[in-house]
Amino acid sequence: MKISAAILVAFMLLMLPAAASGLVEGGENISYDDGGGNDAPVLSAEGDVAPADVRITANREHLVRNNDFCVTVRGESRKQYYLFIEDAGVSDAGYPLIKEGQPSVEIIGDAPFPDAPAAAIANEKRAGDGAHFPDQTAALVQTDVSGVRTLGLSTYSATTPRSFTIMVIDPEDETRVDTVGVTVEEGEVTIAAEGAGTYSLGEEIALSGTNTASDTTYLFLTGTDLGCGVPLDSPSLNA
């Protein structure tokens, strides 16, 4: 069956008028003059390639403060995009921050996005009030030859525990846009004492625990006649 089809196609090509040797390209179709002054289509050719839609993903949907995360932008090859954290109504220090010194990531600081068709909507939605923009919350991000760029963001003890939306938008077309959500959670501190909980004078007590809220943990004693808390190694002193 395949051989018969190939022979039929070859026969049909031989039967084309001689004028078909002069193909005429017209818009999205390629046609030939059939000898009667009419253009007959031969095949359909693809026109201009449509710009690729932009996408953004995050490596973590939830994280505890004081940890980092990254987002990946996928779009056209070697193209610059606007990337920013949407306004969340928190203080400047309450936002996750784009790490400095990353290749092909230009942090724009307290400045609006450069004039472009999508600049107005980007400046309206990004963190800030339109006149002031928190530093390290927006950047110009350029993809590599494969159309990909990954960049890192940091959170700190001052980062507000809540959900944040990170948006990427094509500067030339505000309809080419994508978002990803990341939730920053408040850490917690736990402590436990080894043993049954009742101890004799002079007995050592082993303590263990975790702190996912900060890098520093304060230990102190409270109880009858201990005021508001005293150091473990000096119970007679106020903490």
Q: What is the pTM of this model?
A: 0.69
d(C-alpha 197, C-alpha 130), whole Å: 57
Q: Across 5-9, 144-148, 187-191, 216-220, which has the greatest mean pLDDT?
A: 144-148
Q: What's the chain's average pLDDT? A: 83
Give the per-residue pLDDT at 9: 44
Q: 109-113, 142-146, 194-198 — which is least confidently predicted?
A: 194-198
Q: Helical H runs in 32-155?
A: 119-125
pLDDT tens per residue across span 176-232: 999 999 999 998 888 888 887 788 888 888 889 888 777 788 888 887 777 677 887
Task: For residue 68, give Cα distances in angstroms to 22, 37, 75, 152.
Answer: 62, 68, 24, 7
Q: Are the C-beta atoms of 32 and 20 separated by less than 8 Å?
A: yes
What residue ranges define each of the domains in the chain, with the CATH number in brackets?
2-44 (no CATH), 55-185 (2.60.40.1930), 188-239 (no CATH)
